[in-house]
């Protein structure tokens, strides 16, 4: 790999023809992307897809916030409002955050462990290319008679069965496809990490991003089939006369929630464990100091993953469980804060007595630590069953999971993109614009989500299109923050377009002064094929 | 850590304590705060509030310490200040310490939480019981030991929601018939649903319990002070989830007893009146006027004020074959509902007179113009299976 091959125009590779690699088979134009089995191409596809979905889901959030700008019904009907909250949630979870992490995994895992590509490249292609179909089906359902799914992304039965519109069939089908895609992606990650590590890349030398993704992949394989089961039962209950969730036929609507959250709780860790990995890569780089407590980070991640299987019913404290079950799920949930705390403490200890600089990825990573921790602390409050009875299904919960998912997962994805994109394109992104993106996002996201704690505590339920007058002032601020946050992401779009067009200064191989790891030893931009001969890790 | 760092940390702590104090102050004094949980009207809700404030303070404390150290580090250990990176990167002792200490804090939190939880879930030995049944989008209350039951619907006018009238003080938090309970007595609620899952929530009682179709949940409260307590459905239950409030009035036991006896008398009289009306016929004008009122209050949420429904979700009545041709079927579906759909059985919700009027209205409004008149005795005939 003497020559750096331009990843965005692989025909250069063919022109170079420095060896008999497969570069010259690469089709040009659109077919390159359709047929690609290259982990970098597929990573790029995943990331752009996720970004487009982020903007689509964000546009729905804008509709929601516009309707909630003031009391009364102004812009949309309640039925459409419910479709917006539902599809916003589905798109952000399955269309934005998860594919973005899969995109990062594709780009980075082979480069971090010294592998030439993912282990199953053709399946890799397929697991991406079924996603656009899944989301086309989901979005198309909004236009059928009766509208799209309007029962919340949690699709509780019987609202999603007996009482839903016919578009439920489309919803079920699209969730099946998303699930298949996720499972294939997870299998690929596991097989790659198990079989394709370079000589000397022992388990406890793997970068934390690789570790966290490995654990995430096991979570995916464990719980995506459970989701598939849940949607299938919804399908047969609605269309084929079964009664899994209908008491009149011997079923139980609460059983739906048990099944859903048995998937759903590990799912929230699926969306945060890779984020922990990213932050654990970025903080040491810009603190110029090794990650504190590497081993304990690995064990903490594994503990969180294991605990995630025994806490699901904390989403269901008001469903009327026996008090012993409420106790169990309260205590188990509180326990999760211990390994999560260990992670935060380790990051702070990494920073302590380091030599810090504050480039864009570091700024996002620091914002992540503070804001994710706020979300974690409100999560700890939510674990306390007696007070959860008051918080449950209010805006306090909405504030909590947006702090964890937006300023947590999404900020970590942005940090990751800013951190690694110079390696991918060989050029530094537009730092001035990126600073604007960071500060606008940071301020607006807090105006958007922080007051939600207040209206939630004051008693505003979630998923309502109209509200009592005492919530009016804060909702106005929340909406303004929302619009500002939405617009701020257009700056991100501009930075990304400029970056992909290769505008900006060329960067060194190491890119960042303190960066360590195999991906920083290959040329910038990363050649189309890396590590054809495995490196030796000492 | 140098002196500057300590100063920054102190200032940070002071600022946070000030803000926490202000929040507690702002919320402690008023009955209903715009910022914080309310203390509520029962012993339990007070305990829950205290628990909330305890958890909140602990979380703020943790945040102050962690973020404080982090910010100090961000200030002191910067390359631009000439900081040189240290070499340490692990310590088993430290890792054990910051595993054990949070664990101890958790135990400190868990004990009072478990105590309150046990008290909240003890529904034994109630003084009275009310059956609460949710349905799209209203609540039904049935006093188990008295002959009183009624539906409770949103009382806010449609025009306020559509921004044509200015909004009242209790916008969206007012109902036509509130639940009335006595103060100082342990009132048990049995909570269930006729269709989808709802959740009965009164923040001032710290009671939120899901209403699951086909199952019965229990909750209880003992209200200390007479007053009006407002809440809302807390579980997404379809289109008008945001429009099914809960209002509870707590009265002194004597006033409550007077109210409940009065309700029993009114109910008895209404039943007698209904039997008397069976022999009478109402005119078309009377039927249509009453029918329009009932339709807008009861049917328009799904079938829409113009009778066109929501395509694909709720069927249209305008021009529907049943409303035009099948009178027996029409009376039957309004009386008994249609299983497997959102169409409820209105026989138990509306009087014979109201049923007759609304069916007449549906058969003659929006250009249906069948000229059919349905009288109370026609409905009674279908209801009694004749």
**Which domain does A144 fall in, by range?**
11-520
pLDDT for residue A19 is more than 60:
no
Whether chain B has a CB inside 8 Å of the CB on A291: the answer is yes
Which of A278, A214, A64, A220 has its CA nearest to residue A153?
A64
Contacts of A467 in chain B (CB under 8 A): 172, 242
Q: Is B89 helix (H, G, I), strand (E, B) or coil?
A: coil
Return the minimum-mean-pLDDT range out of A168-172, A287-291, B174-178, B349-353: B349-353
The 10 Å CB-count burial string (b at 16+, else e) for B326-356 is ebeebbbbbbbbeeeebbbebbebbbbbbbb
Q: Is B138 helix (H, G, I), strand (E, B) or coil?
A: strand
What letter would DSSP give residue A317?
G
pLDDT more than 70, % of chain A = 95
- How confident is the model at residue A24, as a pLDDT? 53
Length of chain B: 386
Rg (CA), chain B: 29
Taking an 8 Å cut-off on Cβ atoms, the answer to whether A292 and B113 are in contact is no
A412 annotated active-site: no
Whether chain A has a CB inside 8 Å of the CB on B349: the answer is no
Contacts of A478 in chain B (CB under 8 A): none
pLDDT tens digit sequence for A511-529: 999 999 999 999 999 999 9
Q: In angstroms, rounded to a whole number, what is the distance separating the alpha carbons of residues A362 and A268? A: 24
pLDDT tens digit sequence for B209-244: 999 999 999 999 999 999 999 999 999 999 999 999
- How confident is the model at residue B386, as a pLDDT? 66
Query: What φ, ψ does residue B182 adopt, rounded to 5°?
Result: -85, 150
Strand partners, A469: none
Contacts of B83 in chain A (CB under 8 A): 353-356
Q: What is the largest CA-CA distance in chain B?
A: 99
Strand partners, B221: B187
pLDDT for residue A17 is more than 80:
no
Tell me the pLDDT band of A463, cut-offs 50, 70 and 90.
very high
| Residue tagged active-site, from A343, A400, A423, A453 | A343
- How confident is the model at residue B179, as a pLDDT? 97
pLDDT for residue B10 is more than 80:
no
Parts of chain B belonging to CATH 1.10.287: 3-120
Q: Nearest 5 degrees, angle CA A422-CA A427-CA A431?
A: 80
pLDDT for residue A4 is more than 70:
no
**Residues B251 and B226 sit within 8 Å (Cβ to Cβ):** yes
Average pLDDT score, chain B: 89
Whether chain B has a CB inside 8 Å of the CB on A372: the answer is no
Report the gap between the CA of B249 and the closest CA in chain A (Å): 18
Q: Is B154 helix (H, G, I), strand (E, B) or coil?
A: strand
Query: For the domain B3-120, what is the CATH code?
Result: 1.10.287
Angle between helix A323-351 and B92-120 (nearest 10): 150
pLDDT more than 70, % of chain B = 91
**Which CATH number does the domain housing residue A310 bear?**
1.20.210.10
A340 annotated active-site: yes
Parts of chain B belonging to CATH 2.60.40.420: 128-273
Taking an 8 Å cut-off on Cβ atoms, the answer to whether A253 and B213 are in contact is yes
Give residue A97's Cα distance to chain centre: 2
Q: Is A460 helix (H, G, I), strand (E, B) or coil?
A: coil
- How confident is the model at residue B385, as a pLDDT? 79
- How confident is the model at residue B351, as a pLDDT? 87
pLDDT for residue B8 is more than 70:
no
| Contacts for B283 with CB less than 8 Å, ≥ 6 apart | none
Tell me the pLDDT band of B16, cut-offs 50, 70 and 90.
low
Does B278-383 carry CATH code 1.10.760.10?
A: yes
Q: In angstroms, rounded to a whole number, what is the distance separating the alpha carbons of residues B282 and A388? A: 53
- How confident is the model at residue B6, as a pLDDT? 57
| Contacts for A330 with CB less than 8 Å, ≥ 6 apart | A314, A317, A383, A384, A385, B110, B113, B114, B117
pLDDT for residue A18 is more than 80:
no
Q: Is A343 helix (H, G, I), strand (E, B) or coil?
A: helix
**Which of A335, A356, A383, A451 to mutate to probe the B interface, most B CBs <10 Å?**
A356
Q: In angstroms, rounded to a whole number, what is the distance separating the alpha carbons of residues B370 and B382? A: 20
pLDDT more than 90, % of chain B = 66
A315 annotated active-site: yes
| Residue A368 belongs to a domain | yes
Domain count, chain A: 1
- Option in A74, A252, A288 nearest B85 (CB): A288
pLDDT for residue B7 is more than 90:
no
Length of chain A: 538
| Residue A4 belongs to a domain | no
| Residue tagged active-site, from A265, A289, A400, A423 | A265
- Pairing between strand B138-143 and B148-152? antiparallel
pLDDT tens digit sequence for A263-276: 999 999 999 999 99
Strand partners, B187: B128, B221
Mean pLDDT for the stretch of residues A357-379:
97
Q: In angstroms, rounded to a whole number, what is the distance separating the alpha carbons of residues B386 and B384? A: 6
pLDDT for residue B280 is more than 50:
yes
Taking an 8 Å cut-off on Cβ atoms, the answer to whether A338 and B102 are in contact is yes
Q: In angstroms, rounded to a whole number, what is the distance separating the alpha carbons of residues A131 and A135? A: 6
Whether chain A has a CB inside 8 Å of the CB on B69: the answer is yes
Q: In angstroms, rounded to a whole number, what is the distance separating the alpha carbons of residues B327 and B319? A: 14
pLDDT more than 90, % of chain A = 93
The 10 Å CB-count burial string (b at 16+, else e) for B4-31 is ebeebbeebeeebeeebeebeeebeeee
pLDDT tens digit sequence for A111-135: 999 999 999 999 999 999 999 999 9
Return the minimum-mean-pLDDT range out of A21-30, A370-379, B261-270: A21-30
Whether chain B has a CB inside 8 Å of the CB on A204: the answer is no
**Residues A437 and A487 sit within 8 Å (Cβ to Cβ):** no
- How confident is the model at residue A525, as a pLDDT? 93
Whether chain B has a CB inside 8 Å of the CB on A442: the answer is no
Mean pLDDT for the stretch of residues A67-87:
96
Taking an 8 Å cut-off on Cβ atoms, the answer to whether A466 and B98 are in contact is no
Is the peptide bond prior to A525 cis by the omega test (within 30 degrees of 0)? yes
- Pairing between strand B187-193 and B128-135? parallel
Parts of chain B belonging to CATH 1.10.760.10: 278-383
A181 annotated active-site: yes
What letter would DSSP give residue B135?
E
Side-chain-side CA neighbours of residue A362 (13 Å)? 20
Report the gap between the CA of A346 and the closest CA in chain B (Å): 8
| Residue A1 belongs to a domain | no
Q: Using H for helix, E for strand and C for coil, what is the string for A486-519?
A: HHHHHHHHHHHHHHHCCCCCECCCCCCCCCCCHH
| Contacts for A348 with CB less than 8 Å, ≥ 6 apart | A369, B66, B69, B70, B73
| Residue tagged active-site, from A117, A237, A326, A359 | A117
| Residue A532 belongs to a domain | no
Rg (CA), chain A: 23
Taking an 8 Å cut-off on Cβ atoms, the answer to whether B161 and A454 are in contact is no
pLDDT tens digit sequence for A297-345: 999 999 999 999 999 999 999 999 999 999 999 999 999 999 999 999 9
Whether chain A has a CB inside 8 Å of the CB on B342: the answer is yes
- How confident is the model at residue A52, as a pLDDT? 98
From residue A419, give the alpha-carbon distance in Å to each of A55, A99, A295, A373, B221.
Answer: 21, 18, 24, 22, 55
Q: In angstroms, rounded to a whole number, what is the distance separating the alpha carbons of residues B71 and A514? A: 21
Whether chain B has a CB inside 8 Å of the CB on A366: the answer is yes
Return the minimum-mean-pLDDT range out of A18-22, A124-128, A175-179, B142-146: A18-22
pLDDT for residue A142 is more than 80:
yes
- In B122-161, the residues whose Cβ lies within 8 Å of chain A are 136, 160-161
Tell me the pLDDT band of B21, cut-offs 50, 70 and 90.
low
Q: Nearest 5 degrees, angle CA B114-CA B118-CA B121?
A: 135
- How confident is the model at residue B342, as a pLDDT? 84
Q: In angstroms, rounded to a whole number, what is the distance separating the alpha carbons of residues A408 and A374? A: 10
Return the minimum-mean-pLDDT range out of A142-151, A225-234, A485-494, B20-29: B20-29
Whether chain A has a CB inside 8 Å of the CB on B311: the answer is yes
Tell me the pLDDT band of A26, cut-offs 50, 70 and 90.
low
- How confident is the model at residue B1, as a pLDDT? 43
Which of A427, A409, A323 has its CA nearest to residue A371?
A409
- How confident is the model at residue B311, as a pLDDT? 84
pLDDT for residue B336 is more than 70:
yes
Neighbours of B250 (CB within 10 A): 27
Whether chain B has a CB inside 8 Å of the CB on A325: the answer is no
Name the fold adopted by B128-273: Immunoglobulin-like (2.60.40)
pLDDT tens digit sequence for B51-87: 999 999 999 999 999 999 999 999 999 999 998 999 9
- How confident is the model at residue B176, as a pLDDT? 93
User: How many A×B Cβ pairs under 8 Å?
Assistant: 304
Whether chain B has a CB inside 8 Å of the CB on A353: the answer is yes
Tell me which chain B residue has its CA closest to the CA of residue A389. B208
Q: In angstroms, rounded to a whole number, what is the distance separating the alpha carbons of residues B211 and B131? A: 11
**Residues B192 and B132 sit within 8 Å (Cβ to Cβ):** yes
Report long-range pairs for B275-283 (Cβ below 8 Å, ≥24 apart): B277/B352, B277/B353, B277/B376, B278/B352, B278/B376, B278/B377, B278/B380, B279/B377, B280/B376, B281/B373, B281/B375, B282/B353, B282/B356, B282/B357, B282/B375, B282/B376
- Among positive and negative, which fits the CA dihedral A429, A432, A437, A442? positive
Q: Is B125 helix (H, G, I), strand (E, B) or coil?
A: coil
Q: Is B335 helix (H, G, I), strand (E, B) or coil?
A: helix
A65 annotated active-site: no
A182 annotated active-site: yes
Taking an 8 Å cut-off on Cβ atoms, the answer to whether B88 and A458 are in contact is no
Tell me which chain A residue has its CA closest to the CA of residue B174. A468
């Amino acid at each position: 790999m003497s020559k750096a091959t331009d990843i965005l125009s692989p025909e250069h590779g063919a022109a170079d023809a420095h060896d008999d690699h497969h570069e010259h088979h690469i089709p040009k134009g659109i077919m390159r992307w359709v047929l690609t089995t290259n982990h970098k191409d597929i990573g790029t596809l995943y990331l752009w897809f996720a970004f487009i979905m982020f903007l689509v889901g964000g546009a729905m959030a804008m509709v929601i916030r516009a309707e909630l700008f003031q009391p009364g019904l102004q812009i949309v009907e309640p039925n459409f409002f419910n479709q917006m909250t539902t599809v916003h949630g589905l798109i952000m979870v399955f269309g934005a955050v998860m594919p973005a992490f899969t995109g990062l995994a594709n780009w980075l895992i082979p480069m971090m462990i010294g592998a030439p590509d993912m282990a199953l490249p053709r399946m890799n292609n397929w697991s991406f290319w079924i996603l656009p179909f899944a989301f086309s089906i989901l979005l198309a359902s909004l236009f059928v008679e009766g509208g799209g799914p309007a029962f919340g992304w949690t699709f509780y039965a019987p609202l999603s069965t007996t009482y839903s519109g016919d578009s439920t069939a489309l919803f079920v089908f699209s969730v099946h496809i998303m699930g298949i895609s996720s499972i294939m992606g997870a299998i690929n990650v596991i097989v790659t990490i198990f079989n394709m590590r370079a000589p000397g890349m022992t388990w406890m030398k793997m970068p934390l991003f690789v570790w966290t993704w490995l654990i995430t992949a096991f979570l995916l394989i464990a719980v995506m089939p459970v989701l598939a089961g849940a949607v299938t039962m919804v399908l047969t209950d609605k269309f084929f006369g079964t009664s899994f969730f209908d008491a009149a036929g011997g079923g139980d609507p609460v059983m739906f929630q048990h099944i859903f959250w048995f998937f759903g709780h590990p799912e929230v860790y699926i969306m945060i464990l890779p984020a922990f990995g990213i932050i654990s890569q970025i903080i040491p780089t810009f603190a110029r100091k090794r990650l504190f407590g590497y081993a304990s980070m690995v064990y903490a991640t594994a503990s969180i993953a294991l605990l995630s299987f025994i806490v699901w019913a904390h989403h269901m404290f008001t469903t009327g469980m026996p008090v012993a079950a409420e106790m169990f799920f309260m205590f188990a949930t509180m326990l999760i804060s211990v390994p999560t705390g260990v992670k935060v403490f380790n990051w702070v200890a990494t920073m302590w007595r380091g030599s810090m600089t504050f480039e864009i990825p570091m700024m996002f990573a620091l914002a992540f630590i503070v804001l994710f921790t706020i979300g974690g602390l409100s999560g700890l409050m939510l674990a306390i069953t007696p007070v959860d009875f008051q918080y449950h299904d209010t805006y306090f919960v909405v504030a909590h999971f947006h702090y964890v998912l937006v300023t947590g997962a999404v900020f970590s994805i942005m940090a990751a993109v800013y951190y690694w994109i110079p390696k991918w394109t060989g050029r530094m992104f537009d730092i001035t614009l990126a600073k604007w993106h960071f500060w606008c996002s940071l301020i607006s996201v807090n105006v958007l989500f922080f007051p939600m704690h207040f209206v939630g505590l004051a008693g505003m339920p979630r998923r309502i299109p109209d509200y009592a007058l005492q919530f009016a002032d804060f909702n106005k601020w929340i909406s303004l923050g929302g619009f500002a946050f939405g617009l701020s992401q257009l700056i991100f779009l501009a930075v990304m377009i400029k970056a992909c067009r290769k505008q900006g200064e060329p960067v060194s191989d190491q890119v960042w002064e303190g960066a360590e790891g195999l991906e920083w030893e290959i040329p910038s931009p990363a050649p189309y094929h890396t590590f054809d001969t495995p490196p030796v890790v000492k | 850590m140098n002196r500057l760092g300590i100063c920054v940390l102190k200032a940070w702590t002071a600022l946070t304590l000030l803000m926490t104090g202000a929040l507690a102050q702002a919320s402690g004094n008023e009955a209903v705060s715009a910022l914080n949980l309310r203390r509520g009207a029962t012993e339990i809700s007070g305990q829950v509030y205290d628990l909330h404030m305890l958890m909140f303070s602990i979380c703020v404390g943790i945040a102050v310490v962690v973020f404080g150290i982090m910010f100090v580090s961000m200030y002191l250990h910067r390359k631009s200040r000439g900081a040189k990176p240290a070499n340490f990167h692990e310590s088993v002792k430290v890792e054990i310490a910051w595993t054990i200490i949070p664990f101890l804090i958790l135990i400190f939190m868990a004990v009072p939480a478990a105590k309150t939880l046990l008290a909240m879930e003890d529904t034994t030995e109630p003084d009275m019981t009310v059956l609460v049944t949710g349905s799209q989008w209203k609540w039904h209350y049935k006093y188990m030991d008295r002959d009183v039951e009624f539906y409770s619907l949103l009382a806010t006018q449609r025009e306020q929601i559509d921004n044509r009238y200015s909004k009242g003080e209790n916008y969206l938090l007012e109902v036509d018939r509130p639940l009335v309970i006595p103060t100082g007595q342990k009132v048990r609620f049995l909570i269930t649903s006729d269709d989808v899952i709802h959740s009965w929530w009164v923040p001032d009682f710290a009671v939120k319990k899901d209403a699951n179709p086909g199952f019965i949940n229990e909750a209880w409260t003992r209200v200390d002070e007479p007053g009006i307590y407002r809440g809302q459905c807390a579980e997404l239950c379809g289109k008008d989830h945001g429009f099914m409030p809960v209002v509870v009035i707590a009265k002194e036991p004597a006033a409550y007893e007077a109210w409940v006896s009065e309700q029993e008398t009114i109910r008895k009289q209404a039943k007698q009146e209904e039997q008397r009306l069976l022999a009478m016929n109402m005119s078309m004008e009377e039927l249509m006027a009453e029918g329009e009122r009932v339709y807008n209050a009861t049917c328009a949420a799904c079938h829409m004020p113009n009778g066109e429904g929501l395509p694909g979700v709720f069927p249209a009545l305008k021009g529907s074959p049943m409303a035009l041709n099948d009178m027996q079927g029409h009376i039957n579906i309004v009386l008994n509902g249609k299983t497997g759909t959102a169409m409820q059985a209105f026989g138990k919700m509306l009087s014979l007179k109201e049923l007759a009027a609304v069916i007449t209205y549906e058969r003659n409004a929006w250009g249906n113009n069948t000229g059919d008149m349905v009288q109370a005795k026609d409905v009674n005939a279908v209801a009694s299976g004749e």
